[in-house]
Amino acid sequence: MKFTMTGALLAATAMTSAPAFADEVIFAHGANPGNPRYAAAEMFADLVPACTGGETTVNVAGSATMGNDVEMLTSVAGGVIQMSANSQGPLAQIVPEAGMLGLPFLFEDLPTVWRVLDGEVGDMLDEKAQNAGLKILTFWDNGIRHVSHTSKNVPTPADLEGMQIRTPSDETTIAAFEALGASPAPLAWSELPTALQSGVFEGQENPLTNIYSAKLHEITPYITLTGHKYESTPVVASMVWWSGLDEATQACIEGAAEQAGWYQRGLSLSQGKSLRETMEAEGATFAEVEDRQAFIDATAGVYDQYEGEYGDLIGALREATQ
């Protein structure tokens, strides 16, 4: 089933005159076919009817058909749609603590991320989100991120000097690239290919899975494996809707999101390792960073920037990643 913003507005009108109910879930996301997020959403849609005995169905609205991540998240928080597999940057606009997951060079690898997010840190973020009208059911991956450029690789911090780079709407990402001397600016994911083709940006940063599924390696074929940060895909539900579900339905939906999440995480991990060869065969040029510590040192001040406000969370993150 296809969904539009008009459809979302009609849904909102209906919800103002009737209580939340569990028999149909609109699950919105911005990924395209071939992306692990897209595949996991389809799995989630299969799992929910199975564990509710067919009483609850899921209609997946993918490829940003219900708006960009910010618009989808606003719709979920407002009770217009029930669920979204969203992005860390937009969530951080509502739950600022979520942005701390994107501190530069915080995570070494994906298994470390999963251990942290499935523990105390994830619970802390869920509590904050609930106060803002969102229930975080689980965290899917948006991967360890790398820089791609239209005309050159960037193996040293000096190579990023003055680079016009697109970032998500995430303060920590912007702060990290400013610290590296680049000129970052946020832009909606759905608008990125056009902006790169028109020369508004010289490059962007994303995990290989996103770069490949959106064919960005055809526009920015120079990919440097900076591994500069991690971003999650928070799977969120409207608290207005969630609070109206019985415990059995809540358990089914949360369990299905977690099961689909492990599938998505596995795809993210395996594609992150295999896509380099595929993309090189399609013309991409890869490079490793020459000195990872130089990047770490250059972005160390980003931690100081947030320590005063989020020191307890940053401390918990640092301890959990050890």
Q: What is the pLDDT along the chain (322 residues), one digit of tens a residue?
A: 333 343 443 344 334 333 344 589 999 999 999 899 999 999 999 999 999 999 999 999 999 999 999 999 999 999 999 999 999 999 999 999 999 999 999 999 999 999 999 999 999 999 999 999 999 999 999 999 999 999 999 999 999 999 999 998 889 999 999 999 999 999 999 899 999 999 999 999 999 999 999 999 999 999 999 999 999 999 999 999 999 999 999 999 999 999 999 999 999 999 888 999 999 999 999 999 999 999 999 999 999 999 999 999 999 999 999 8
What local confidence, expressed as pLDDT, does residue 8 receive?
A: 42
What local confidence, expressed as pLDDT, does residue 170 receive?
A: 87
Separation of alpha carbons 210 and 205, rounded Å? 9
What local confidence, expressed as pLDDT, does residue 3 receive?
A: 37
Q: Which helix (H) or strand (E) holds 290?
A: none
What SS3 state is found at 282?
Answer: coil
Phi then psi for residue 44, to 5 deg, are -55, -40
What local confidence, expressed as pLDDT, does residue 272 receive?
A: 86
Domain segments of the chain: what residues? Answer: 5-313
pTM over 0.85: yes
**b/e 62-92 (16+ beta carbons within 10 angstroms → b):** bbbbbbbbbbbbbbbbebbbbbbbbbbbbbb
What local confidence, expressed as pLDDT, does residue 299 receive?
A: 98
Pairing status of strand 134-149 against strand 183-186: unpaired
Separation of alpha carbons 86 and 127, rounded Å? 17
Dihedral sign for Cα atoms in the order 302, 305, 309, 315 = positive
Q: Please determine, looking at this structure, whether the domain spanning 5-313 carries the CATH number 3.40.50.10800.
A: no
**Separation in Å, CA 281 to CA 187, 193, 320:** 29, 21, 38
Angle at 99 between CA 44 and CA 128, to 5 degrees: 70
Which residues are paired to 183 by β-bridges? Answer: 164
